[in-house]
Structure 1
């Protein structure tokens, strides 16, 4: 149908469904010409030839179009929160429990274990130290698995390593009963190192799992549950170990029971779903693949350093205290059982405090100012308690160290998931598992170094007011290191740091969410 034929048809002669608007050609031409002048698109692309207006008929029929595009042209992201997410969360939590229990299996009964294996207590300390260094070695592989394969593959690999390491430890312990020259102790160390290789695959996974499966209203709680189950395992090791190995000959049975429990816990990992069919929120799950450019951007972020270094030091201090707690208290007349109770108090009270605080922070701590204030208060509490811990063991009574441990555990466990979530938000659009794995590996490395340093400071160094095996100087070192990094988190919120990159700089478009620079 030509334009001349169109002008001969009156709109009233058309059906209602085909009513077309009639506009003067001059207005249409002027309108399109103005559009062409203001638009970067050329007039040729618009097929406009303003100089040939005389060839355009007096009236042209054009359809009446809606002012806004149809809703079908806008991105429609379907979201759903699945109940099956709890299976993955529970399994990850159980793996974090057992891997930490394995780490402190011998630390809680260091004296009894040293008698059984015919070694000194410093050699038993190397079971914990080697575990921490093994974590650092396997962290790059864990980061790659989490980043490219996901949480399920990471949990499966961790489960395999846990099973192998535990049964190697039992084999070395069982053979050690008939070998008083401690040659089988090397097999126990080897099994412990394999277990250490397994830890980063589950300890670095909570933030990725919570962002992949949970909505924003429950992520801090999910991260807290999976992350804090790691020290819960340490509490179980501290509390149950002394009751299992009441004498040297019962050490192999203790290792056997832990190996059986580990095997039972690890099996369900292979039957978990890999990922939710639909995302839990409309904000796209950040699946950024790690590159050297991303790592470079991460380490350029001032906010990352203000959060990461205190995280590293305080986790290292907590790990060192947990490993040496028995040796810290025993020189002042306390038993292995009392030291185990003190360690359990530190962790159990901390878990209860975190269980209460995390949902509250999820509900009312959405504003970053609230989170920053909480972090700063917790840092000051932790520093103060480590300073007091230098002097309290001298009382020779359990009540003093127990109170200090309760405060350290509470502040540390509330701070842990809060710091991990703040790292994930402030380093967005970098994947949460990247910053998490880096911080955990650095903290384990720092923990190993601090543990060696504190062990080397064992003894009174001529101070006759201290017992021969006192760790008084070691506790001073630990407190000083904690105080040195305290100003860093106190600077959060200054110079634009601590600001949520995800919330404050999110740019939406029909094609998705654009990436933004780090704070």
Structure 2
């Protein structure tokens, strides 16, 4: 790989002077051993190279956060007002649930070409594609307001769902490309924060904009306003991304990022190494159980809350907001802790166990008769359960380094979608068959199993080792 204009202690390193060789990995040799060899070369060259972070990195991250939010805010757009959608369009509850689950279903088969595209192109290309799809899907829903056009709204929802393929696996990749070693975990947590921000808006906005007690004409007008607002917002955002979003900074921000750039990745070989990595496979299962439980609760929150608090449509949305906002705080705090301590396994396991406790408290306070208590238990649940998201991402990047972060997080999210669909279907069936108490206890049991699996993961921090090798 040719390095351009790196700052030396005594001047600039000419773009004609190679620092690290470009490496092709097309055989069955160990990528890790090759990585170690390259890191030795980087360590030798360390006195000559000063890695610098770009001053625009936070702007790029900010654009991604808003872009991610514009997609995820549409995830529960129908589900959080399920009773209104059923009444207005004359469709079944399961049809409305599928407007949320379609996000999970489309992701699984498309994440592999999506990860391959991110690996072979760059962040700018995939971000433009995803932003355009999010905008297109939002405009399709604008024309789905007539009561016989639910199918068109579902089509628009599907287009938006497909576009998330170019979002969910990006935070660890963007953090690694743009941020230094002492900020990468925090940057990843902020990137995940964007998805959570959108989910929060998606919980609270539809119940405010669409009146549950309105006439058919009033509900139609409310739907039209909501769809136009989202379509307009995503259109403006698409233009901004087209004009200002960049693929990468001029120079790598860290030795780990430099090594990642210097390796020619083989997508199929990366897949093979990932699925034979014991720690990564265990993390896939534990991460899937945690986030699958979150998906189930989020999709059916309206139904669960209205069971005990009839007419509390707005409260269902606000409780969803509380869960996600608390999770945002948890995400950022966990990211800061990881950057300061680099105790990835300990942090992951602690957050996971706290998620189990939070789910138990939520389960046994749901029927207390005081909705304010449900708000409080939702804060605890959200802080740890959704706060776990970036922690899992970063732990995965550590135990799989130097495999591409886009591929690592892509497979992680694909497994999450499978768990999400199965858990949501199970949760919905149990709500109708045995009630919410047993349904929620089942989620508690799944989370407990996930915590036990997390405890079995070895703390093999490969990315930290590479960075420390460079410093040495």
Do they fold alike, i.e. is TM over 0.5?
yes
Structure-2 change in CA distance of 1:434 and 1:114 (3 Å): same
Alignment partner, residue 26 of structure 1: none
Structure-2 change in CA distance of 1:498 and 1:189 (3 Å): same
Alignment partner, residue 97 of structure 2: 125
Alignment partner, residue 294 of structure 2: 318
Alignment partner, residue 82 of structure 1: 54
State whether structure 2 residue 322 is matched by structure 1 residue 345. Answer: yes
Out of 447, 456, 459, which is 1:498 matched to?
A: 459
Deviations along 1:72-103, one digit per CA (max 9) or x if unpaired, are x9574342211121222111111111111111
Structure-2 change in CA distance of 1:506 and 1:154 (3 Å): same
State whether structure 2 residue 372 is matched by structure 1 residue 390. Answer: no
C-alpha contact 1:147 1:290 (8 A) present in aligned 2? no
State whether structure 2 residue 185 is matched by structure 1 residue 220. Answer: yes
- Cα deviation for residue 418 of structure 1 reads 2.0
Deviations along 1:230-281, one digit per CA (max 9) or x if unpaired, are 1211111111211100133322321221121222222222122221111101
Structure-2 change in CA distance of 1:504 and 1:216 (3 Å): closer
SS at match of 1:499: coil
SS at match of 2:260: coil
Alignment partner, residue 275 of structure 1: 248
Alignment partner, residue 85 of structure 2: 113
- Cα deviation for residue 214 of structure 1 reads 0.3
Bigger Rg over Cα: 1
C-alpha contact 2:331 2:389 (8 A) present in aligned 1? no
Out of 200, 204, 223, which is 1:239 matched to?
A: 204
Give the Cα–Cα distance (whole angstroms) in 2 for the partners of residues 243 and 194 of structure 1.
Answer: 25
State whether structure 2 residue 328 is matched by structure 1 residue 355. Answer: no
C-alpha contact 1:215 1:280 (8 A) present in aligned 2? yes
State whether structure 2 residue 274 is matched by structure 1 residue 286. Answer: no
Give the Cα–Cα distance (whole angstroms) in 1 for the partners of residues 254 and 352 of structure 2.
Answer: 32
Alignment of 1:374-389 (within 5 A): 374-389=347-362
> Which segment drifts farther, 450-459 or 232-241?
450-459
C-alpha contact 1:113 1:251 (8 A) present in aligned 2? no
- Cα deviation for residue 126 of structure 1 reads 1.1
Give the Cα–Cα distance (whole angstroms) in 2 for the partners of residues 166 and 139 of structure 1.
Answer: 21
C-alpha contact 1:342 1:398 (8 A) present in aligned 2? no
Alignment partner, residue 134 of structure 1: 106
Deviations along 1:432-486, one digit per CA (max 9) or x if unpaired, are 111111001110121122212222233255xxxxxxxx43443233222222222
- Cα deviation for residue 386 of structure 1 reads 2.0
C-alpha contact 1:147 1:433 (8 A) present in aligned 2? yes
Deviations along 1:77-135, one digit per CA (max 9) or x if unpaired, are 34221112122211111111111111111122111111111113222111011121112
Alignment partner, residue 423 of structure 1: 396
Alignment partner, residue 66 of structure 2: 94
C-alpha contact 1:114 1:124 (8 A) present in aligned 2? yes
Give the Cα–Cα distance (whole angstroms) in 2 for the partners of residues 383 and 290 of structure 1.
Answer: 38
Structure-2 change in CA distance of 1:266 and 1:474 (3 Å): farther
RMSD: 2.2
> Which segment drifts farther, 422-431 or 410-419?
410-419
SS at match of 1:157: helix
C-alpha contact 2:68 2:194 (8 A) present in aligned 1? yes
State whether structure 2 residue 417 is matched by structure 1 residue 441. Answer: no
Give the Cα–Cα distance (whole angstroms) in 2 for the partners of residues 460 and 357 of structure 1.
Answer: 37
Out of 165, 178, 187, which is 2:152 matched to?
A: 187
SS at match of 1:355: helix
Structure-2 change in CA distance of 1:460 and 1:295 (3 Å): closer
C-alpha contact 2:69 2:198 (8 A) present in aligned 1? yes
Equivalent residue pairs, number = 415
Give the Cα–Cα distance (whole angstroms) in 1 for the partners of residues 193 and 451 of structure 2.
Answer: 22
SS at match of 1:372: helix
Structure 1 unaligned regions, length at least 5: 1-72, 177-181, 462-469, 510-519
- Cα deviation for residue 290 of structure 1 reads 3.6
SS at match of 1:337: helix
C-alpha contact 2:123 2:246 (8 A) present in aligned 1? no
Give the Cα–Cα distance (whole angstroms) in 2 for the partners of residues 214 and 293 of structure 1.
Answer: 27
C-alpha contact 2:75 2:100 (8 A) present in aligned 1? yes
State whether structure 2 residue 456 is matched by structure 1 residue 483. Answer: no
- Cα deviation for residue 339 of structure 1 reads 1.0
Structure-2 change in CA distance of 1:330 and 1:299 (3 Å): same
Structure-2 change in CA distance of 1:99 and 1:221 (3 Å): same
Structure-2 change in CA distance of 1:361 and 1:291 (3 Å): closer
Deviations along 1:12-37, one digit per CA (max 9) or x if unpaired, are xxxxxxxxxxxxxxxxxxxxxxxxxx
Structure-2 change in CA distance of 1:78 and 1:106 (3 Å): same
Structure 2 unaligned regions, length at least 5: 1-43
**Larger RCO: 1 or 2 (CA < 8 Å, sep 6+):** 2
- Cα deviation for residue 336 of structure 1 reads 0.8
SS at match of 2:163: helix
Structure-2 change in CA distance of 1:346 and 1:503 (3 Å): closer
- Cα deviation for residue 147 of structure 1 reads 0.6
